[in-house]
Amino acid sequence: MTATTDGPAGPGVSGTKHREHDSPGTVPPDQDSVTGRAERTTARAVEYLLAVQDEAGWWKGDLETNVTMDAEDLLLREFLGIRDEKTLRAAGRFIRSQQREDGTWATFHGGPGDLSATIEAYVALKLAGDDPGAPHMARAAEWVREHGGVARARVFTRIWLALFGWWRWEDLPELPPEIIYLPKWFPLNIYDFGCWARQTIVPLTVVSALRPVHPAGFRIDELHRDPARPRPPAPMAPATTWDGAFQRIDRALHAYRKVASRRLRRAALRDASRWIIERQENDGCWGGIQPPAVYSLIALRLLGYDLEHPVMKAGLASLDRFAIWHDEETRMVEACQSPVWDTCLVAIALADAGLPADHPALLKAADWMLGEQVVRPGDWSVRRPQLPPGGWAFEFHNDNYPDIDDTAEVALALRRVKHPDPERVNRAVARGVRWNLGMQSSDGSWAAFDVDNTSRFPNRLPFCDFGEVIDPPSADVTAHVLEMLAAEGMQDDPRARRAIAWMLAEQEANGSWFGRWGVNYLYGTGSAVPALVAVGLPTSHPAIRRAVRWLESVQNDDGGWGEDLRSYIDSEWAANGTSTASQTGWALMALLAAGEKESKAVERGVEWLAETQREDGYWDEPYFTGTGFPWDFSINYHLYRMVFPVTALGRYLHGDALERLAGRDA
């Protein structure tokens, strides 16, 4: 993993600095109009982005989540017997650096203390040698006890504790490996779960069946409210409720464990291991994300795979690539890496900012993206067996799970590049468009990875309390697909018209849209308005005017826009938060698409971006504006603070690059 760069690249952007490029928009330094300031701001940001492009053509910013990634990485290494002191010390430094004054760890910047994150961080630090009597440890333990102790932690946290004998397996929900045999039409079959959840659940069925214990050599009594009675009985909900029904199903599964056929159980474990191995990517990871890789390695080790086995060696090597080292002293683990997503967004931003369509940086990015197209079937083909592949994934290596959102944005990026082999681009984009259209859900919308993955049963399982485990359609993904279809001249296609109708029906009463994969109503609205205008809605349309009024009403006094992650659980937080560069970019993109370039709101937003930019072209943004699971798992994409302001500023100055290219071609 390339270390995070400092200096010209600033914090939080991975990549290789190379030759300087010419940038657009050079203006006299005494031009103080809004337009002049926008040009200077854009020029600095463009230079920054060009400087951090990797030689291979891609961009990738750090993907920051929370310390459970770091804690679980250490716990995995302890469980497998492969821990080393350098990693232990460096991870411990990072975990300590994220602790707050009250002793807790949060899951996003400025958020409340999180019980499970605090427990996992505490245990990891104790593993690293921190004295439980030290003030920072004592504060954490006291807070955990005050908030219910280990018994109130999420199931996944208690699974980690059970691996080391700190919790009883009998007191965890049961998830038998025989679930792998449930047919696709049966409720709670593995394809009823979102791809990220099924990749995690299958290996966890193995772990749950085998119930391993690797004694850690110390106790965690200080994290229980009553160490003599650490597992108070959970109240049983009425049988007439869904919670009560699933609690009783869990009891039945615990009873089934005692009578399950040993022959069937052995077969299920064998087939689960085959399922896991078949989905290992070429780089050794699973789905390009850390959690499935961690649990898959544990499951395969329990099934007898030696650490020197090629599958295990490749898997462990892939986890090392998730680590970002700062000065060889501090180590942060990414949950995932986002080069395809970052690269297509940067390419769009640079093109919209006025970079020539045949600029070397854009050509290298296009060539790299073209090489990343997924051309073999993956898990999505279980529901769409006749659909030819052609999508793009989010990560460096993830051929099993390309996603609809990346595919749409890569197509939009490629159309902004004047490539020397246009037929190659045309073929790739055509494959991507065909695949995305084939992944349309029955109501006319699109989800991220799967089709009609909307069963509500998986979320109700007692086992599944770690965040969203299904992949329902969302306004932001549907908007990006519509924008792609408009770029391909398909806005009048019946499938596009159905999606437009779905989008209009999804608009909130206040004029906003809910953002599934970004925070939150600002992201949804910033995605929806440009897409709807692109497919032909006039800017005078009532839906567009409602969105404009809402965006103007929620602009912060400083001229920017911001929204806290708490909007996912409390609508009072909708568009309520400290101004950020990325969220201000989303709001401006929507307003500009709606024809509001001359409005006071746009002017103030542009000025806020100009005033808050650093001299090196970067914007500081500690706030998390990306979403993994709404509320439960939040992401700070370190390039969001660059690509969306640059896109907005470019459109303020020049309009959309696709429109410019279309006009030139005409």
Asked whether residue 538 is domain-assigned, the answer is no
246-272: per-residue pLDDT in tens? 888 888 888 989 999 999 999 999 999
Confidence of residue 470 (pLDDT cuts 50, 70, 90): very high
The neighbour count for residue 101, using CB atoms within 10 Å, is 7
Tell me the CATH number at 93. 1.50.10.20
Secondary structure (3-state) at 61: strand
Secondary structure (3-state) at 605: helix
Contacts 24+ apart (CB under 8 A), 109-114: 109/622, 109/623, 109/624, 109/636, 110/564, 110/578, 110/622, 110/623, 111/565, 111/566, 111/624, 111/634, 113/143, 113/147, 114/66
174-219: per-residue pLDDT in tens? 999 999 999 999 999 999 999 999 999 999 999 999 999 999 889 9
Whether residue 306 lies in the annotated active site: no
Asked whether residue 230 is domain-assigned, the answer is yes
Distance of CA 38 to the CA centre of its chain: 30
Q: Rg (Cα) of the chain, in Å, rounded?
A: 25
> CA 198, 200, 206 angle in degrees (round to 5)?
105
Report whether 399 contacts 282 (CB < 8 A): yes
> Distance between CA 47 and CA 428 in Å, rounded?
29
472-528: per-residue pLDDT in tens? 999 999 999 999 999 999 999 999 999 999 999 999 999 999 999 999 999 999 999
Q: Residue 325 pairs with which residues in a beta bridge?
A: 331
> Distance between CA 229 and CA 607 in Å, rounded?
59
75-128: per-residue pLDDT in tens? 999 999 999 999 999 999 999 999 999 999 999 999 999 999 999 999 999 999
> Distance between CA 467 and CA 629 in Å, rounded?
6
Full domain range(s) for residue 306: 68-333
31 phi/psi in degrees, rounded to 5 = -85, 105
Confidence of residue 294 (pLDDT cuts 50, 70, 90): very high
Secondary structure (3-state) at 391: coil
> Distance between CA 456 and CA 100 in Å, rounded?
36
| Token pair recorded at residue 391 | 């999508």
Residue 588 scores a pLDDT above 70: yes
> Distance between CA 179 and CA 163 in Å, rounded?
22
Q: What is the pLDDT of residue 11?
A: 46
Q: Residues of 541-565 as b/e, b for ≥16 C-beta within 10 angstroms?
A: eebbebbbebbbebbbebbbbbbbb
Confidence of residue 240 (pLDDT cuts 50, 70, 90): confident
Q: What is the pLDDT of residue 9?
A: 44
Number of domains in the chain: 1
At position 335, the amino acid (one-letter code) is A
| Token pair recorded at residue 537 | 């809605």
Asked whether residue 477 is domain-assigned, the answer is no
pTM (predicted TM-score): 0.93
| Token pair recorded at residue 263 | 């022959």
> Distance between CA 636 and CA 657 in Å, rounded?
27
Asked whether residue 19 is domain-assigned, the answer is no
Residues whose CB is less than 8 angstroms from the CB of residue 385 and which lie 6 or more positions away in sequence, other chains included: none
The full length of the chain comes to: 666
Q: What is the pLDDT of residue 31?
A: 63
Report whether 625 contacts 519 (CB < 8 A): yes
Confidence of residue 20 (pLDDT cuts 50, 70, 90): very low
> Distance between CA 653 and CA 647 in Å, rounded?
10
Q: Name the active-site residue from 192, 399, 405, 656.
A: 405
646-655: per-residue pLDDT in tens? 999 999 999 8
Percentage of the residues of the chain whose pLDDT score is greater than 90: 84
Asked whether residue 566 is domain-assigned, the answer is no
Asked whether residue 215 is domain-assigned, the answer is yes
Secondary structure (3-state) at 324: strand
Asked whether residue 239 is domain-assigned, the answer is yes
Residue 461 scores a pLDDT above 90: no
Q: What is the pLDDT of residue 449?
A: 96
Asked whether residue 562 is domain-assigned, the answer is no
